[in-house]
């Protein structure tokens, strides 16, 4: 008789070995499979890294990020921090990060507004409005984004006047095909008071909005949150600014040679990329909003109207809050797409991450492995931050089961 069998109660009983018992246990088997998969994944990445290092050694290269401290030796046409050609590659990378964040945040803001407007217009009972929104969405969604960027950039560069024929706004701001030049503020010492009042106004508005919502849920009373917020954030700081003698000096742009010098400038590359990304993403958001609104039962609208709420209040208080539960998950994907699509900026010379550390710095230093790892890590970080925020917001608006 086999060593794995024994007589018990007159009949043979099979004894399983410990490994077999562990494998046949569902929970233990799941853990074992996960451990094996994790080991294989880490082994694969270890092999890839070792292979890359070996190939670099055969080419006479090492893996080092010391190049970031070397002078970049190239100019960047738009930067929000101090930068010149003598700055380091790390500084150039920082400028690229700021420019990428600027275009991503600006694009998300404008695309969200336009997308919600388009989504509502697609459901309009006015035939002309509905069809115009439909045609816009179908046209924009079916043309590659790069063509939109090149088209908008070409229109701006060729339709706007040259610096010597610039369109002026009160002789302090000038619109040209090389950028929109505006006065640059230089705050005086007392300006900090205005800044503090503005921050306090923002905090007060946020807290008052939460309080007003609790009161409305408990009693039905509605406070004018928007008007009070405008007073706290805009009116009070503006009055303080005037009473303090307007503690800001302005640097006015001046035409010197073939271009304007001084002040602040918004380059046509930024405007073109911002508009193209916003218009393109808004078309997708419009369809997402339309789907979210149509997902709300029509009985909700009828019940609201029967209670005497006007259509605008019905849309704001009944339809949109319920539609957001359908809208937010795919909306997060559009925000991610917009941020990653900003890398197409290199086609028109807007200096973002791809153009700085992933473009000129890579070509000058020959550190393709290090530069590409930095670029991928930065885009991964941006994507994870957007996903985290949208997941947090989605958890706040989801239905709470009792």
**pLDDT tens column, 102-115:** 999 999 999 999 99
DSSP code of 357? Answer: I
Q: Which of 349, 344, 343, 350 is nearest to 383 (CA)?
A: 343
Domain boundaries along the sequence of the chain = 95-167+272-402
User: Mind giving me the DSSP string for 257-285?
Assistant: TTEEESSEEE-HHHHHHHHHHHHHHHHHH
In this model, does residue 29 exceed pLDDT 80? Answer: no
Q: What is the pLDDT of residue 400?
A: 55
55 or 149, higher pLDDT: 149
376 or 165, higher pLDDT: 376
| Token pair for 216 | 């409305």
**pLDDT tens column, 325-351:** 889 999 999 999 999 999 998 889 899
Q: Decide: 282 and 114 in contact? Cβ < 8 Å.
A: yes
In this model, does residue 359 exceed pLDDT 60? Answer: yes
- As a whole number, the mean pLDDT across the chain is 86
Q: What is the pLDDT of residue 106?
A: 94
| Token pair for 362 | 């890579």
pTM above the 0.75 mark?
Answer: yes
**pLDDT tens column, 247-274:** 888 888 888 877 888 888 888 999 999 9
**pLDDT tens column, 123-146:** 888 889 999 999 999 999 999 999
Cβ neighbourhood burial of 362 (10 Å; 0-12, 13-18, 19+): buried
Q: What is the mean pLDDT of residues 378-402?
A: 84
Q: What is the CATH number of domain 95-167+272-402?
A: 1.10.3720.10
User: To 5 degrees, how large is the angle CA 167–CA 184–CA 82?
Assistant: 120
Q: Return d(Cα 278, Cα 167) in angstroms, integer.
A: 25
């Amino acid at each position: 008789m086999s060593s794995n069998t024994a007589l018990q109660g007159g009949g043979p009983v099979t004894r399983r070995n410990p490994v077999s018992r562990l494998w046949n246990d569902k929970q233990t088997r799941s853990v074992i499979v996960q451990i094996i998969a994790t080991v294989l994944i880490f082994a694969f990445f270890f092999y890839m890294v070792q292979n890359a290092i070996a190939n670099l050694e055969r080419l006479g290269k090492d893996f080092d990020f010391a190049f970031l401290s070397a002078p970049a030796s190239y100019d960047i046409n738009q930067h929000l921090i101090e930068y010149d050609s003598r700055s380091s590659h790390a500084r150039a990378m920082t400028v690229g990060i700021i420019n990428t964040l600027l275009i991503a945040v600006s694009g998300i803001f404008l695309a969200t507004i336009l997308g919600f407007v388009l989504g509502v217009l697609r459901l309009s009972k006015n035939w002309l409005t509905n069809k115009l929104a439909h045609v816009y969405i179908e046209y924009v969604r079916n043309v590659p984004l790069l063509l939109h960027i090149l088209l908008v950039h070409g229109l701006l560069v060729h339709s706007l006047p040259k610096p010597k024929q610039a369109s002026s706004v009160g002789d302090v701001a000038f619109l040209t095909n090389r950028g929109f030049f505006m006065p640059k503020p230089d705050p005086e010492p007392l300006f900090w008071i205005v800044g503090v009042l503005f921050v306090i106004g923002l905090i007060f508005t946020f807290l008052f909005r939460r309080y007003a919502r609790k009161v409305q849920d408990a009693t039905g009373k509605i406070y004018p949150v928007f008007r009070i917020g405008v007073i706290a954030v805009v009116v009070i700081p503006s009055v303080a600014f005037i009473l303090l003698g307007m503690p800001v000096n302005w640097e006015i742009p001046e035409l010197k040679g073939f271009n304007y010098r001084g002040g602040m400038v918004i380059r046509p590359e930024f405007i073109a990329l911002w508009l193209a990304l916003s218009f393109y993403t808004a078309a997708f958001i419009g369809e997402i909003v339309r789907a979210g609104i149509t997902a709300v039962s029509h009985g909700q609208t009828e019940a609201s109207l029967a209670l005497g709420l006007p259509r605008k209040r019905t849309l704001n208080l009944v339809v949109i809050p319920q539609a957001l539960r359908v809208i937010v998950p795919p909306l997060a994907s559009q925000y991610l797409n917009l941020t990653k699509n900003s890398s197409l900026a290199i086609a028109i010379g807007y200096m973002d991450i791809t153009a700085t550390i992933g473009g000129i710095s890579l070509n000058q230093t020959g550190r393709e492995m290090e530069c590409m790892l930095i670029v991928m890590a930065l885009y991964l970080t941006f994507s994870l931050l957007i996903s985290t925020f949208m997941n947090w917001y989605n958890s706040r608006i989801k239905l709470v089961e009792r």
